[in-house]
Amino acid sequence: MAVTNGTSRPSTSGDGLRRLLAVLFAATGFSALTLQVTWQRVISLHSGVDLASTTTVVAAFLGGLGLGSLLGGRLADRVGPRRSLEFFAGANVAIGAFAAVSTWLFYDLYRAIAPSLGSAAATFAFNAAVVVVPTTLMGLSLPLLTRGVVHRLHDAGPVVGRLYGINTMGAAAGAAVAGWVLVGTFGFVPVTLFAGGVNLVVGLVVFARTRSDTTIDDVGERTAVAATAEPTPVEGRPIWPWMVAYAGTGAVALGLEQVFFRLVDTVMRSNSYSFAHVLSLYLLLFGIGAAIGSRLVRRGVDTQRWFLLLQAGAAVGALAGPFVLLEVLPRVGLGGPLEEYFASDGFNIGFGQITSARGFAGFVFAYVVAPMLFMAVPVLCAGAAYPCIQATVSDRIDQLGRRTGTLLFSNIVGNVAGTLLTGYVLIDRLGTAGTLRLLAGLLLGGVVVASLATSRVGRRSTAGVAAVGVLGAALLVGAPSNDRLWSFLHSADGSLVLEEQRSCAVALRRDGTGNDILHINGSSQNGYPFDDYHVLIGLVPALAHPEPTNVLAIGLGIGATAYGMATDPSVRRVEVVELCGGQYPLLETLAEQRPAFELTRLFADPRVKTVVGDGREHLLVVDDRYDVITVDTLRPQSGYSGSLYSKEFYELVAERLNDGGIFTQWIPTSRVLNTAAQVFPHVEALEVAAYGSSRFMVASKAPITIDPAGLLERFGRVDPTAYRDEQRGSLRRYLGELRSACVQNGELLRDVPRRLYNRDLAPRDEYFLNNDLSVPELPRCRRGGVQQQPPGR
């Protein structure tokens, strides 16, 4: 071992170990995000997909990571390099073991104990208790690995920053591969086993290498010698203000992440692949930023100065993205194409249109240009800031693990606070644009205060921060209002009626025919005046049921389906559950302004009870039984839609129906019909020619009577003023000309190949790129010994 002037030259063997560990750390990043994406999707099956639920789940994930970072830092400084690497290996083996049973814990165990979990708080406590185990183990990793590979103090910032960047880029790959390929192709259970296997292999390789590599102890000796030879830290230079600062920037960063994701989700008119794509881009940018920051620190820059400059750059970049989109691009000849794109539904039902040049250009804009416009500068700056702050707080080699763990813990505490504050308060109160301005303004203000309070930041640095602050202030002043931002994203020219809450941004946009079209996060839904199809989804089961006293509509939409049920005078109670709570005040506004008498009647009806929440979660937690349940919500290509088209969901619906109860839902794919026919022995498929020959199912555990004469007789009891004359006439014609459309009559469909239907843990329609959409419809109806096929095949 050679030690010269308090430094040492690592051996070739040590360099090889460091390279190996870097590759393995990237692999653990891949596994971690694969597991997180999969676990969060499984947890959503019982916790719901509203922003409140997802925010609390993310907070639980972050909390475990923060706890692990804190514990890992203290452990690393106590045990030394070799034992740190052995504990790193052990943590990965434990993650692999947990992954092997994780689906059973998150899914099967929850279903077994769900009756004893009587509230959302109890459900969150269950999820948090389970999640904290693997996420704490994940959080141990970086402090332990840092202690095992960093030999000299001045290597702390660049080496740890590089490791962090490599791990984050591995995580980006995990999010992309899991989201685009693995989950849709194999389902959740095989993917968690695969990801856990990656951790297991990493743990065994690291353990074997540390047991056989005798240079690691030598590294520990060199580290001890270097610690005595390196300069003593400057007395009186506290570290805690930088820890607090990194907590504050962590809060802003996660708040901005939610803003970015909402903006990009709207631009994309998202489908089931969009979230994983955006997440992978975000992580990739952060990892690249960390690599850039490591090079800066290696060059010997003033890390405090650069940390502040980079945070200021993140704030300016966050403000610049929407400004460029709204104010710059339309002035350089792109106004027409942008208006055309934002008047469309983008890629919310797939990617078929990218075969044309215009469609491909739209895809590049939505999936590359727009995300980079919003995220590139702020996320690159945030990533580059990490090695700088790491170097700033790393002033003692013998406390490197603790400092690294505490720094990460501080940042994650800020992450949790920012996630909760933005998800529960800011977006509700300020909207997307106001939240963006506030967060960017807080970050800029914090940078200015810190630069003035930090003695090491000199005149040149203060001038640089001031220049960035002036630019940021100008962007703050010129930032678009929330109405202006959302009007642009809908090509509405200021005519948009907007209601934004934490779960969704919902809006009404009047089209060229005078219809008011509902949009949710940019994607169009149905419109007003009501079309016959959505009215019939609610009206037909109410008329077909002999005594539809208590009915449930999952999904409000424009209000047509719930209204169709409510017009039957036999109904005594109509419960409506809608995830996007802003739809209620939005439609009340429509009722007043247009006016829309149907909506006025719906919301004034004392029989109608409105609920804001996730429909599947509602069925899980309520004890009520219903005579009719309708589901008219997500397209099957939407993210999380599989929870409303699975066999297990239909079983849940069947449990909540009274004897003789009827269930209705539209039939977007053959798999949906195949899936429902495995739960309901009686299924009818009804086609509405006037609505593009779209079909909806009427299903029950008991025989269903679809008798045109009987339906017309019941329809005659409906208040004549409930419908406009033209629509009343069209509804009568449809009911009177209704033909038998039997799909399943008395026997459940059995022995269905897995690829032909949807399960909770294998939602094939949701992941449409990975599964054949042209599958056959299997149910056949037998009446009088004659086999009949359903219509619309």
**703, 678 Cβ separation under 8 angstroms:** no
Looking at residue 6, its pLDDT comes to 40
Q: What percent of the chain has pLDDT over 70?
A: 89
Quick one: average pLDDT of 374-398?
A: 89
For 105-109, 138-142, 191-195, 393-397, which range has the lowest pLDDT when averaged over its residues?
A: 393-397
Tokens of 208: 């074997």
- Which DSSP string do the residues of 390-447 spell out, in sequence order? HHHH---GGGHHHHHHHHHHHHHHHHHHHHHHIIIIIHHHHHHHHHHHHHHHHHHHHH
**747, 679 Cβ separation under 8 angstroms:** no
Helices (H), 514-625: 532-544, 560-566, 583-593, 597-604, 615-621
**Which of 33-37, 686-690, 738-742 tops mean pLDDT?**
33-37
In 3D space, the residue among 104, 192, 187 whose CA is nearest the CA of residue 762 turns out to be 187
For 154-163, 297-306, 373-382, which range has the lowest pLDDT when averaged over its residues?
A: 154-163
Identify the band that residue 471 occupies on the pLDDT scale cut at 50, 70 and 90: confident
Residues contacting 624, CB < 8 A, separation 6+: 550, 552, 575, 656
**701, 626 Cβ separation under 8 angstroms:** no
Confidence check: pLDDT of 793 > 50: no
In 3D space, the residue among 489, 429, 282 whose CA is nearest the CA of residue 439 turns out to be 429
Looking at residue 286, its pLDDT comes to 93
**280, 178 Cβ separation under 8 angstroms:** no
At 359 the three-state DSSP class reads helix
**pLDDT tens digits, one per residue of 121-140:** 777 788 888 889 999 999 99
Confidence check: pLDDT of 237 > 70: no
Tokens of 664: 């209705």
Looking at residue 478, its pLDDT comes to 84
Distance in angstroms (rounded) separating the CA atoms of residues 84 and 72: 9
Strands 742-745 and 608-612: unpaired
Looking at residue 52, its pLDDT comes to 62
Distance in angstroms (rounded) separating the CA atoms of residues 452 and 457: 8
For 159-163, 216-220, 230-234, 707-711, which range has the lowest pLDDT when averaged over its residues?
A: 230-234
C-alpha distances (whole Å) from 514 to each of 18, 178, 278 are: 66, 43, 35
pTM: 0.89
In 3D space, the residue among 632, 741, 736 whose CA is nearest the CA of residue 685 turns out to be 741
Identify the band that residue 9 occupies on the pLDDT scale cut at 50, 70 and 90: very low
Tokens of 662: 């009827």
Confidence check: pLDDT of 455 > 60: no
At 743 the three-state DSSP class reads strand
- Which DSSP string do the residues of 232-265 spell out, in sequence order? PPPTT--SHHHHHHHHHHHHHHHHHHHHHHHHHH
Quick one: average pLDDT of 402-427?
A: 90
**454, 296 Cβ separation under 8 angstroms:** no
Distance in angstroms (rounded) separating the CA atoms of residues 154 and 297: 9
Looking at residue 761, its pLDDT comes to 95
**548, 570 Cβ separation under 8 angstroms:** yes
- Determine the straight-line distance between the first and last CA of the chain, rounded to whole angstroms: 78
The angle subtended at Cα 155 by Cα 149 and Cα 159, nearest 5°, is: 60
Report, in angstroms and rounded to the nearest whole number, the Rg of the chain calculated over CA atoms: 29
Confidence check: pLDDT of 782 > 60: no
**144, 87 Cβ separation under 8 angstroms:** yes
Strands 742-745 and 573-578: unpaired
Phi first, then psi, for residue 787 (nearest 5°) are -85, 130
Write a three-state SS string for 39-53. Answer: HHHHHHHHHCCCHHH
Distance in angstroms (rounded) separating the CA atoms of residues 20 and 308: 33
Identify the band that residue 5 occupies on the pLDDT scale cut at 50, 70 and 90: very low
In 3D space, the residue among 553, 496, 566 whose CA is nearest the CA of residue 718 turns out to be 566
Tokens of 191: 């993917």
Place of tokens 């109410």: 542
Tokens of 368: 């590359």
**pLDDT tens digits, one per residue of 316-339:** 999 999 999 999 999 999 999 999
Quick one: average pLDDT of 392-408?
A: 80
At 334 the three-state DSSP class reads coil
At 193 the three-state DSSP class reads helix
At 693 the three-state DSSP class reads coil
> Looking at this protein, which amino acid is placed at residue 175?
A
Confidence check: pLDDT of 224 > 50: no
Q: Could you tell me which residue, 84 or 453, shows the higher pLDDT? A: 84
DSSP 353: G
Phi first, then psi, for residue 309 (nearest 5°) are -60, -40
Is the link from the previous residue into 636 a cis peptide, with omega within 30 of 0? no
C-alpha distances (whole Å) from 523 to each of 80, 313, 534, 565 are: 55, 32, 17, 26
Confidence check: pLDDT of 236 > 80: no
Distance in angstroms (rounded) separating the CA atoms of residues 525 and 66: 41
Tokens of 86: 């052995």
**pLDDT tens digits, one per residue of 519-545:** 999 999 999 999 999 999 999 999 999
Distance in angstroms (rounded) separating the CA atoms of residues 435 and 280: 23
**pLDDT tens digits, one per residue of 652-669:** 999 999 999 999 999 999
Q: Could you tell me which residue, 269 or 51, shows the higher pLDDT? A: 269
Phi first, then psi, for residue 384 (nearest 5°) are -70, -25
At 778 the three-state DSSP class reads coil
Tokens of 318: 């966050």
**pLDDT tens digits, one per residue of 588-645:** 999 999 899 999 999 999 999 999 988 998 998 888 999 999 999 889 989 899 999 9
Average per-residue pLDDT for the chain:
87
Strands 523-528 and 516-520: antiparallel
Confidence check: pLDDT of 423 > 60: yes
Tokens of 280: 């992978």
Is the link from the previous residue into 529 a cis peptide, with omega within 30 of 0? yes
**216, 421 Cβ separation under 8 angstroms:** no
Quick one: average pLDDT of 685-689?
A: 87
Looking at residue 740, its pLDDT comes to 61
Looking at residue 214, its pLDDT comes to 67
Q: Could you tell me which residue, 271 or 189, shows the higher pLDDT? A: 189
Its sign, for the CA torsion 161, 282, 434, 584, is: negative
Which contacts qualify for 615-618: CB closer than 8 Å, 24 or more apart? 615/554, 615/555, 615/577, 615/579, 615/644, 616/45, 616/46, 616/48, 616/554, 616/643, 616/644, 616/649, 616/652, 617/46, 617/47, 617/48, 617/53, 618/554, 618/577
Quick one: average pLDDT of 492-496?
A: 80
Looking at residue 48, its pLDDT comes to 73
Identify the band that residue 465 occupies on the pLDDT scale cut at 50, 70 and 90: low
Confidence check: pLDDT of 220 > 50: no
Confidence check: pLDDT of 155 > 80: no
**pLDDT tens digits, one per residue of 624-633:** 999 999 999 8
Confidence check: pLDDT of 792 > 70: no
Distance in angstroms (rounded) separating the CA atoms of residues 744 and 792: 15
Helices (H), 48-108: 51-103
